[in-house]
Chains A and B, each alone.
Chain A
Amino acid sequence: TQLLEQSPQFLSIQEGENLTVYCNSSSVFSSLQWYRQEPGEGPVLLVTVVTGGEVKKLKRLTFQFGDARKDSSLHITAAQPGDTGLYLCACVIYNQGGKLIFGQGTELSVKP
C-alpha cells in the first residue's frame, strides 16, 4: 500500500487546457512537497506546503494543502508543452534525519 496515492497516473491534454493532479493519504503530514522530473533528469522541487489550507502559486501552477494536512493538489492553468513531465508529490519522514517518501507520480503530456 502506497503512503501517498497520486491520481491520475497518466494525463494527455492539448495546449491551453487546465488540469488538476491529486495526492492523497490517510496519514497527516507536517508538510508535502511537489517535484517535477523531466526525461533524463532528477526531480526538481517546485514547492513545499506546510499549513493546512495553504495555497501557493508558481506562475500558472497552483498548489493546495488540504485543511486536514492529508492531501494536496496541483492545478495547472493553460498548460503548455513545456509543462510536460512527471509530477511527484512527496512527504518527509523524520527519524534522526529524514527520508522522502514519494507518490507514484503523474505523467503529464501536453501536446501543441
Chain B
Amino acid sequence: DAMVIQNPRYQVTQFGKPVTLSCSQTLNHNVMYWYQQKSSQAPKLLFHYYDKDFNNEADTPDNFQSRRPNTSFCFLDIRSPGLGDAAMYLCATSSRLAGDYEQYFGPGTRLTVT
C-alpha cells in the first residue's frame, strides 16, 4: 500500500499560471518535506514541517509556498511558475521513531512549464 502519495503525478502548466501539488501520508510521521529535483542533481530542500512548525530554506524562491493543514496532508503552491521551475517535486516524510529520521518519499510530481 502506498504510504506517501503525491498528486498529480504529472502536471503541465503555462508560464505564470499558478499550480498546486499535493502530498498525503498514511505513516503518521510528524516531519514532512518538499524537495525539488532537476536532472542529474541532488534533491534540493524547499520546505519542511516539524509537526506544525514551518521552515523555509533560505534560498527557496518567494514564488513557492506551502501549507500543511493537518498531519497527513501537505501542499506546495507555485504562484507564478517560470520555465526554470520545471522539475520533479518530491514529498517525503520522516519520524525519529522510524529509523532516526529515515525518509520515505512519494513517487513525485513531474512539472512541465510551457
Is B a genuine binding partner of A?
no
Q: Tell me the A residues contacting B by CB distance below 8 Å.
A: none
Q: Tell me the B residues contacting A by CB distance below 8 Å.
A: none
